[in-house]
């Protein structure tokens, strides 16, 4: 079964299509919900790194391809914040994968050594009270089992970096749904991803959305 985040993503996509399709004469074209042009709620500064792929041979799992990304987060919101981010990866083939799920600890340790950044932390250690100021910035590593090596597009959704939300009614049944401000990073796939190339995926879009 799909988890709640996956269901919410598919609902938002469906709602966007439904809302933007009202183009018959006499009807006003509606747009999918967008974040505030000027943030009115707290927002952390995130500096995402490249999305890359690597093959890692972990005990008990064997060689497998993983997608990974590093990021830096800074708190200049005016007060300390509890920081608990979560990331998802979606492909244009309809697959959605939560970061860290089914990723062995040995794979994370391998990537930490490979990136060779003494400030880089895994997805658990990077969480906690994030103090203000650039000197208290944190750097995190995000890892997914590669869901599909033949996708044409890989989209990363980064959540937990903003306090902005919006409640909307579902267009099909009127049920209220809470959307959260999310950073969307879209990457171009090749249709046959080469896990041995070492090259980052080309990022084609980087913007905030409500999801």
- Where exactly are the structural domains of the chain? 38-210
Partners of 140 in the beta sheet?
71, 121
State the pLDDT at residue 192.
84
Instruction: Quickly name the fold that domain 38-210 has.
Output: Immunoglobulin-like (2.60.40)
b/e for 38-69, b at 16 or more Cβ within 10 A?
eeeeebbebebbebbbbebebeeeeebbbbbb
The DSSP annotation for 21-72 comes to: T--STT-PPP------SS--S-B-EEEEEEEEEEEEEETTTEEEEEEEEEEE
pTM of the predicted protein model: 0.84
State the pLDDT at residue 31.
58
Q: Which portions of the chain are predicted below pLDDT 70?
A: 1-32
State the pLDDT at residue 86.
96
pLDDT tens digits, one per residue of 60-99: 889 999 999 999 999 999 999 999 999 999 999 999 999 9
């Amino acid at each position: 079964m799909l988890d709640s985040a996956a269901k919410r993503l598919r609902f938002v996509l469906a709602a966007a299509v439904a809302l933007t399709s009202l183009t018959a004469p006499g009807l006003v074209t509606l747009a999918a919900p967008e974040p505030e042009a000027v943030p009115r709620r707290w927002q952390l500064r995130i500096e995402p790194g490249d999305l890359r792929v690597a093959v890692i041979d972990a005990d008990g799992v064997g060689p497998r391809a993983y997608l990974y990304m590093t990021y830096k987060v800074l708190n200049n919101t005016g007060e300390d914040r509890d920081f608990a981010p979560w990331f998802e990866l979606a492909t244009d083939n309809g697959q959605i994968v939560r970061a860290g799920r089914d990723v062995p600890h040995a794979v994370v340790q391998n990537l930490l050594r490979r990136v060779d950044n003494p400030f880089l932390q895994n997805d658990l250690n990077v969480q906690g009270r994030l103090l203000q100021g650039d000197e208290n910035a944190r750097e995190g590593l995000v890892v997914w089992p590669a869901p599909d090596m033949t996708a044409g597009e890989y989209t990363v959704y980064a959540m937990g970096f903003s306090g902005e939300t919006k409640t909307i009614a579902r267009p099909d049944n009127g049920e209220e749904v809470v959307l959260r401000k999310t950073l969307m990073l879209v990457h171009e796939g090749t249709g046959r991803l080469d896990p041995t190339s070492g090259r980052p995926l080309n990022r084609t879009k980087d913007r905030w959305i409500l999801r």
